[in-house]
Structure 1
Amino acid sequence: MKKLSVFLFVFFINIFPSSAEIIWSADPNKSNKVTDFFKRLDDGNYPQDYCKVKGDEKGVAASTASIVTDPRYGKVWHINKPINRKRGEFARFEGKINHLSPKEGDDLYIAWNWKIDTADGTKIDKEITVFQWKSASPHNQNYPINMEYDGDLTLNVFGADYSKKVGQFKRRAILWRKAIPQGEWVSLIVRVKVNKDDFGGVVQFWFNGELQQLDNLKTKLYQAKISDDKKSVFHRTNDGRFVYPKWGAYNKKSCQYNVNIYYHDMKVGTTLESVMPIQNH
Structure 2
Amino acid sequence: MTELFRFAALMSLIPTFATADVAWKGDFETGNTSQWTRSQSVANSRLQVVTDVVREGRYALKATVRQGDDPIGASGNRNELLYISQEKVNSTWYYKWSTLFPTNYPLDDGWQVFAQWHQSGCCGSPPLEFYARNEELFMRVGGSKGKVLWTSPMKRGDWHDFVLEVKWSPDAKTGFVQLWHNGQLVVKKTHIATQFGKELNYLKLGLYRDDAIRPEASVYHDGFIMASTLAAVMPPPPPPAPEPAPTEPEPTLPDSEPTLPEPEAPTDLPAEQPSTPDAPTAETPVAYPQNRWGVTTREGTITPENPLGEPQAQSCSASGTGSVPFTAAVGLLSLSAMFARRRKVAQARAHTKR
Q: Does TM, normalized by the shorter one, top 0.5?
A: yes
**1:208 equivalenced with 2:193 (yes/no):** no
Candidates 90, 112, 123, aligned match of 1:128: 112
1:138-217 mapped onto 2 (5 Å cutoff): 142-150=125-133, 151-158=135-142, 169=144, 171-213=145-187
**1:235 equivalenced with 2:192 (yes/no):** yes
Q: Is the 8 A contact 2:93 2:229 kept in 1?
A: yes
**1:82 equivalenced with 2:62 (yes/no):** no
Q: 1:204 to 1:63 in 2, by over 3 A?
A: farther
What's 1:224 paired with?
none
Q: 1:280 to 1:272 in 2, by over 3 A?
A: farther
Q: 1:107 to 1:138 in 2, by over 3 A?
A: same
Q: 1:266 to 1:201 in 2, by over 3 A?
A: same
Distance 1:84 1:275 in 2: 36
Distance 2:208 2:13 in 1: 42
- Note the residue ranges of structure 1 that are not aligned, 5 or more in a row: 46-60, 95-99, 159-167, 214-230
What's 1:22 paired with?
22
Q: Is the 8 A contact 1:127 1:253 kept in 2?
A: no
Q: Is the 8 A contact 2:173 2:191 kept in 1?
A: yes
- Note the residue ranges of structure 2 that are not aligned, 5 or more in a row: 70-76, 240-354
Distance 1:149 1:271 in 2: 28
Q: CA deviation at 1:148?
A: 1.3
Q: Is the 8 A contact 2:111 2:210 kept in 1?
A: no
What's 1:37 paired with?
35
SS of 2:231's partner is: helix
What's 1:70 paired with?
52
Q: Is the 8 A contact 1:136 1:142 kept in 2?
A: no
SS of 1:19's partner is: helix
What's 1:137 paired with?
121
Distance 2:108 2:238 in 1: 28
* TM-score, reference length from structure 1: 0.69
Q: 1:22 to 1:183 in 2, by over 3 A?
A: same
Distance 2:38 2:182 in 1: 28
Q: 1:280 to 1:135 in 2, by over 3 A?
A: farther
Q: CA deviation at 1:172?
A: 2.2
Q: CA deviation at 1:63?
A: 6.8
Q: CA deviation at 1:154?
A: 0.6
What's 2:82 paired with?
91
Larger radius of gyration: 2
SS of 1:212's partner is: strand
SS of 1:129's partner is: strand
SS of 1:256's partner is: coil
Q: Is the 8 A contact 2:100 2:158 kept in 1?
A: yes
Q: Is the 8 A contact 1:79 1:260 kept in 2?
A: yes
Q: Choose between structure 1 and 2 for higher RCO, CA contacts under 8 A separated by at least 6 residues.
A: 1
Q: CA deviation at 1:78?
A: 1.2
Q: Is the 8 A contact 1:148 1:154 kept in 2?
A: yes
Q: Is the 8 A contact 1:104 1:195 kept in 2?
A: yes
Distance 2:238 2:6 in 1: 33
Superposition RMSD in Å? 3.1
Q: CA deviation at 1:135?
A: 0.5
Q: CA deviation at 1:9?
A: 7.0
- Give CA deviations for 1:171-229 in whole Å, capped at 9, x if unaligned: 2211111112222211011111111223321101110111113xxxxxxxxxxxxxxxx
Distance 2:169 2:16 in 1: 31
Size of the alignment, in residue pairs? 226
Q: Is the 8 A contact 2:117 2:203 kept in 1?
A: yes
- Give CA deviations for 1:75-113 in whole Å, capped at 9, x if unaligned: 211111112320111112x4xxxxx44212321111101
Distance 1:91 1:129 in 2: 14
Candidates 110, 128, 146, aligned match of 2:95: 110
Distance 1:14 1:80 in 2: 39
SS of 2:20's partner is: helix
* TM-score, reference length from structure 2: 0.56
Distance 2:15 2:209 in 1: 46
What's 1:222 paired with?
none
Distance 1:279 1:157 in 2: 29
Q: Is the 8 A contact 2:68 2:211 kept in 1?
A: no
Q: CA deviation at 1:142?
A: 4.8
